[in-house]
């Protein structure tokens, strides 16, 4: 009997610990072609490296596509096929990554719709109706935001929110320049800034959630499918694991009530970033603990 009770208590403790563990959904924007590449690197190799690291970490990898890149870089569609061969999903990031603030609602809807034939073909009957706003911009007026949300609801889309981002997009162009100059010291500096920034932003997001709600929420991490991200992916996954994070799907994360108005865009929008939730409560938003301007200036 004591053995049975001990085993039951151990199971409860394990279950409780698992429930308390913070989780992240990794999302990868700008597929199949984000930013510059060092000489000798291909878009397919970048995708393969990202997918390999994701598989090793058991981290689902939801990708968001800009279909125009397959025209700008012929052959880059092979990276999207590789993504699907790995069993990872793809969603809509707008045909050519246009900012809603510079478009009418109708033009934005056309941008999203133009991606759809490619997504239907790649996803082959699976759910691709997730939209990630380019630049995370939902428009420059409340009226535009509501008009686009109405279109998304009518077309059965869900919005892919972001609750963790350390500005990874800023690293790939400097990395390509530093490789071209064979500046190994600068590359090492980029690596350190990248990992330190990811760690600091992870702590920032958790602290913000706990200030707002007294506990973690599941987080959606914004990443980009670039060459430097591929170089750093294994180390980045390990960083989050060492900090106690688990990995899960975008769908599971956004089943949390925090994201309900993005799962159903027909609802009146509520803040679905931690920064906006802070602003809604009149709280000062903590500064981003990474100097992206300094990163972008490296190896020029």
Angle between helices 142-154 and 105-123 (to 10 degrees): 30
Average of pLDDT values for 131-156?
Answer: 97
Q: Please identify which residue in the block is written with the tokens 């590449």.
A: 37
Contact 47, 32 (CB under 8 A): yes
Interval 271-275 mean pLDDT: 95
Percentage of the chain with pLDDT > 70? 94
Q: Write out pLDDT tens, residues 2-54.
A: 333 233 323 322 332 345 789 999 999 999 999 999 999 999 999 999 999 99
The pLDDT assigned to 20 comes to 72
Whether domain 32-296 has CATH 3.20.20.370: yes
User: Is the four-CA dihedral 107, 112, 116, 117 of positive or negative sign?
Assistant: positive
DSSP secondary structure of 31-97: ET--S---TT--HHHHHHHHHHHHHHHT--EEEEE-TTHHHHSTTTHHHHHHHHHTT--EEE--SS-
Q: Is the pLDDT of residue 191 over 70?
A: yes
- Residue 70 in contact with residue 32, Cβ under 8 Å? yes
Angstrom distance (rounded) from CA 207 to CA 149: 30
Residue 130: name the closest of 110, 162, 157, 151 by CA. 157
Tens of pLDDT, residue by residue over 166-177, are: 999 999 999 999
> How far apart, in whole angstroms, are the C-alpha atoms of residue 31 and residue 55?
18
At CB < 8 A and 24+ separation, what contacts does 206-211 make? Answer: 206/22, 207/286, 208/274, 208/275, 208/277, 208/278, 208/286, 209/163, 209/274, 211/278, 211/283
């Amino acid at each position: 009997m004591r053995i049975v009770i001990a085993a039951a208590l151990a199971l409860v403790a394990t279950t409780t610990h698992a429930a308390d563990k913070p989780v992240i959904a990794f999302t990868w924007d700008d597929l199949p072609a984000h930013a510059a590449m060092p000489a000798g690197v291909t878009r397919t190799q970048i995708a393969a490296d990202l997918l390999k690291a994701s598989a090793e970490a058991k981290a689902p990898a939801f990708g968001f596509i800009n279909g125009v890149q397959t025209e700008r870089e012929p052959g880059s569609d092979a990276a999207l096929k590789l993504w699907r061969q790995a069993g990872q999903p793809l969603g809509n990031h707008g045909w050519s990554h246009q900012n809603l603030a510079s478009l009418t609602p109708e033009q934005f809807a056309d941008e999203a719709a133009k991606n759809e034939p490619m997504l239907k073909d790649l996803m082959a009957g699976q759910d691709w109706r997730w939209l990630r706003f380019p630049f995370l911009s939902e428009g420059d007026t409340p009226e535009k935001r509501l008009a686009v949300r109405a279109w998304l609801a009518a077309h059965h889309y869900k919005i892919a929110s972001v609750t963790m981002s350390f500005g990874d997009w800023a690293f790939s162009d400097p990395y390509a320049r530093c490789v071209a100059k064979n500046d190994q010291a600068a590359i090492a500096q980029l690596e350190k800034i990248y990992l330190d920034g990811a760690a600091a932003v992870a702590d920032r997001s958790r602290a913000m959630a706990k200030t707002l709600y007294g506990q973690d929420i599941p987080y959606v991490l914004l990443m980009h499918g670039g060459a430097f991200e591929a170089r750093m992916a294994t180390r980045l996954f390990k960083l989050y694991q060492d900090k106690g994070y688990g990995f899960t799907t975008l769908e599971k994360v956004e089943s949390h009530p925090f994201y309900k108005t993005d799962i159903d865009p027909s609802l009146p929008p509520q803040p679905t970033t931690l920064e906006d939730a802070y602003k809604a409560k009149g709280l000062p938003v903590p500064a981003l603990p990474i100097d992206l301007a300094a990163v972008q200036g490296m190896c020029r």
